C-alpha cells in the first residue's frame, strides 16, 4: 500500500464525547501519518484500555487494542519480531503511568524504536472520572467525591529519567504543533514519548481547554531552548534542563520538545551487535521450515549446533 493519497480514516464511527481532546489527537495522527507517507500495512497502532484505547479502530492502519496498561509489552513484541514495522502506542494516563508504569519505564531503558503517545486527561475517562496518576494532589474534579489524596507523577520527568531519547509535549487542540511533534517522534530512532494534554470534557472540569488555551506556550519560540544532546558528555546537563523545564506548571505550561538524544544505542542496534544478522534477518523474515514442513534444523545440523551436549559413546574393549 502506498502512503500517498491513502485515507487514514477508517469507517468506524468515533464514539468519544463531543468536544473531547481525543478528536484533536486523532486528526493530528491522520495528518502526521499522511505527511510521513506511512504504509498502512507496515504501520501498527497499539493501544491500551480506556477512551484513548479505542483510537486504533478509527485509523486505517493495523490496530492492536490490547489490555489495560499492556500496550507497551505488546508493541515491544511486535517491533522486535518485525523491525520493519512502524509501531506507535496510544494510551491513557491511567494506562501508561498507573497500571502500566513498569512497562513505561522499561521501554525507556531499552530505547526500542517505538513511539508512545500519552492521552493525558488527568482522569480515568472510561471508568467515569476517577483520579489518574497525573491529577495533582488535592485536586477535586467533578466526579470525585473527595479531593485527590495522591500526588501526580510528572510524565516528562519520568520519561527522561527512564531513558526515552525523544521526549516532547503537545496539546490536543494545537493541531499543527501536535502533528509536527508526532512526525518528529516517528522519525526519531529510539524510544520516543509524547505527552499530550488532552481535555476530558465530561470528567475533568479543572484541566479544560480554556485552562490550557491560556497557559500553553511553545518552547520552540525560545531561541535559547536547545534540547538536543549532540555528544554523550552533554547528556546529564540536557537531562537536568529538561527535567527543570518540565517542572514548570501553572500559569505557563511549556509544549514542544524537551529532550532529544541520538547518541544512545537503540535496542535494535544492541540486538544487531549480538545477533549479527539482525535486523536484516529477523524473526518475521527468517525461515523456520521447508516447503515439506521439515524443520530447518535437520539431523546433521542438530549434531553441529548442539555438539556441546552430545556424548559419543566409547565403551571399553
Partner 1 sequence: MGFSELSLILGGPQGSGLETSMLVLSRALAYRGYGVVADREYYSNIVGRHSYIHMSISSKRTPRSLTYPVKLLVSMDAETVFTHFKDIESGGVLFYDKDVRAKKVTEIPSIEESLRSRIARDLKALGAGEDLESVLGVLRGRGVTTIGMSFQEILRDLMKTFGIDPRSLSRYVSGIITSSAALLLGLDREALKYGFERVFAARAKLVEQNVYVADSVWRELKSYEGLLRLDYPETEFSEVLVATGNDVVAIAKIVAGLRYQSYYPITPAADESFFLEKYEVSEVDGTIVGPIVVIQTEDEIAAINSAIGASLAGVRSSTATSGPGFDLMVEGISWAGMNEAPVVITYYQRGGPSTGLPTRGSQSDLLSSAFAAHGEFAKVVLSSGDHLDAFYDTVLAFNIAEKYQLPVIHLLDKFLANSTATIPLPDLGRVRIERGLKPVPPGTYKRFNLEALISPRAPLGTPGVIMWYTGDEHDEFGHISEEPENRVRMYSKRIEKLKLVDEEVPGDLKLRVYGDEGGDFCLIGWGSVKGVALDAVDEIAKRGFRGIYVDVKMLWPFPRRELLEVLRRSGFGNVVAVEHSYGVNIADLAAMAAGVQIRKRIAKFTGRPITLSELTQALEKTLTSDVDRVVISYGG
Ligand X SMILES: Cc1ncc(C[n+]2csc(CCOP(=O)(O)OP(=O)(O)O)c2C)c(N)n1
Instruction: Give the β-pairing of 130-131 and 123-124.
Output: antiparallel
Question: Residue 95 binds which one of ligand SF4, Mg ion, ligand X, none, with CB within 5 to 8 A depending on kind?
Answer: ligand X
Of 282, 235, 283, the residue nearest 259 (C-alpha) = 235
Of 45, 162, 165, 113, the residue nearest 278 (C-alpha) = 113
C-alpha cell at 128: 467515569
Between CA 21 and CA 15 the distance in angstroms is: 13
Single out the residue of 105, 126, 201, 264 in contact with partner 1 (rule: CB under 8 A).
105
Smallest separation, CB 154 to ligand SF4 (Å):
21
Per-residue contact track with ligand SF4, 27 to 66, x per CB under 6 A?
------------------------x---------------
Long-range contacts from 249-253, C-beta under 8 angstroms, 24+ separation: 250/215, 251/215, 252/215, 252/217, 253/197, 253/212, 253/215, 253/216, 253/217
180 binds Mg ion (CB under 5 A): no
Question: Residue 132 binds which one of partner 1, ligand SF4, Mg ion, none, with CB within 5 to 8 A depending on kind?
Answer: Mg ion
164 binds ligand SF4 (CB under 6 A): no
Between CA 242 and CA 226 the distance in angstroms is: 10
Single out the residue of 17, 34, 36, 106 in contact with partner 1 (rule: CB under 8 A).
106
Question: Residue 217 binds which one of partner 1, ligand X, Mg ion, none, with CB within 5 to 8 A depending on kind?
Answer: none
Exposure pattern of 130-166 as b/e (b: 16+ CB <10 Å)?
Answer: bbbbbbeeebebebbeeebeeebbbbbbbbbebbbbb
**Stretch of 12-20, 110-118, 189-197, 240-248 contacting ligand SF4, by CB under 6 A:** 12-20
Smallest separation, CB 19 to partner 1 (Å):
22
276 binds partner 1 (CB under 8 A): yes
Between CA 149 and CA 40 the distance in angstroms is: 43
46 binds partner 1 (CB under 8 A): yes
277 binds partner 1 (CB under 8 A): yes
C-alpha cell at 117: 503517545
Smallest separation, CB 157 to ligand SF4 (Å):
24
E strands within 57-179?
Answer: 62-65, 86-92, 115-120, 123-124, 130-131, 166-171
Is residue 10 a contact partner of residue 29, using CB atoms and an 8 Å limit? no
36 binds partner 1 (CB under 8 A): no
Q: How many residues bind Mg ion (CB under 5 A)?
A: 4
Using the minimum distance from each CB to partner 1, give the nearer residue, 103 or 177.
103
Between CA 108 and CA 272 the distance in angstroms is: 18
Q: Which residues bind ligand X (CB under 6 A)?
A: 49-52, 68, 92-95, 119, 121, 123-127, 132
Question: Residue 196 binds which one of ligand X, Mg ion, partner 1, none, with CB within 5 to 8 A depending on kind?
Answer: none
Question: Residue 203 binds which one of partner 1, ligand SF4, Mg ion, none, with CB within 5 to 8 A depending on kind?
Answer: ligand SF4
Could you say which residues in the range 99-138 bind ligand SF4, by CB under 6 A? 121, 125
Between CA 175 and CA 170 the distance in angstroms is: 9
C-alpha cell at 84: 520493519
232 binds partner 1 (CB under 8 A): no
132 binds Mg ion (CB under 5 A): yes
Question: Residue 90 binds which one of ligand X, Mg ion, partner 1, none, with CB within 5 to 8 A depending on kind?
Answer: none
The binding site for ligand SF4 (CB under 6 A) comprises 16-17, 20, 22, 51, 121, 125, 200-203
Amino acid at each position: 500500500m502506498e502512503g500517498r493519497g491513502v485515507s487514514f480514516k477508517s469507517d468506524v464511527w468515533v464514539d468519544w464525547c463531543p468536544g473531547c481532546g481525543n478528536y484533536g489527537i486523532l486528526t493530528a495522527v491522520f495528518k502526521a501519518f499522511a505527511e510521513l507517507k506511512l504504509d498502512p500495512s507496515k504501520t501498527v497502532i497499539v493501544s491500551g484500555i480506556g477512551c484513548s484505547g479505542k483510537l486504533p479502530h478509527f485509523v486505517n492502519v493495523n490496530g492492536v487494542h490490547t489490555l489495560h496498561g499492556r500496550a507497551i509489552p505488546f508493541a515491544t513484541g511486535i517491533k522486535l519480531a518485525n523491525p520493519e514495522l512502524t509501531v506507535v502506542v496510544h494510551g491513557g494516563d491511567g494506562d501508561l503511568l498507573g497500571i502500566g508504569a513498569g512497562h513505561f519505564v522499561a521501554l525507556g531503558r531499552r530505547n526500542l524504536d517505538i513511539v508512545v503517545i500519552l492521552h493525558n486527561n488527568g482522569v480515568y475517562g472510561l471508568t467515569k472520572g476517577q483520579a489518574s496518576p497525573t491529577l495533582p494532589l488535592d485536586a477535586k474534579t467533578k466526579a470525585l467525591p473527595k479531593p485527590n489524596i495522591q500526588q501526580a507523577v510528572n510524565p516528562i520527568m519520568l520519561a527522561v529519567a527512564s531513558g526515552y531519547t525523544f521526549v516532547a509535549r503537545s496539546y490536543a487542540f494545537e493541531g499543527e504543533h501536535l502533528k509536527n511533534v508526532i512526525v518528529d517522534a516517528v522519525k526519531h530512532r529510539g524510544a520516543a514519548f509524547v505527552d499530550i494534554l488532552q481535555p476530558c470534557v465530561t470528567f475533568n472540569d479543572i484541566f479544560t481547554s480554556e485552562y490550557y488555551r491560556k497557559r500553553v506556550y511553545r518552547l520552540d519560540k525560545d531561541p535559547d531552548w536547545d534540547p538536543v544532546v549532540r555528544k554523550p558528555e552533554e547528556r546529564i546537563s540536557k537531562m537536568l534542563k529538561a527535567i527543570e523545564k518540565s517542572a514548570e506548571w501553572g500559569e505557563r505550561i511549556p509544549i514542544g520538545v524537551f529532550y532529544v538524544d541520538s547518541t544512545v544505542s537503540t535496542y535494535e542496534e544492541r540486538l544487531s551487535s549480538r545477533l549479527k544478522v539482525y535486523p536484516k534477518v529477523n524473526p518475521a523474515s527468517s525461515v523456520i521450515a521447508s516447503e515439506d514442513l521439515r524443520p530447518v534444523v535437520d539431523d546433521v545440523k542438530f549434531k553441529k549446533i548442539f555438539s556441546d551436549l552430545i556424548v559419543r559413546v566409547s565403551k571399553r574393549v
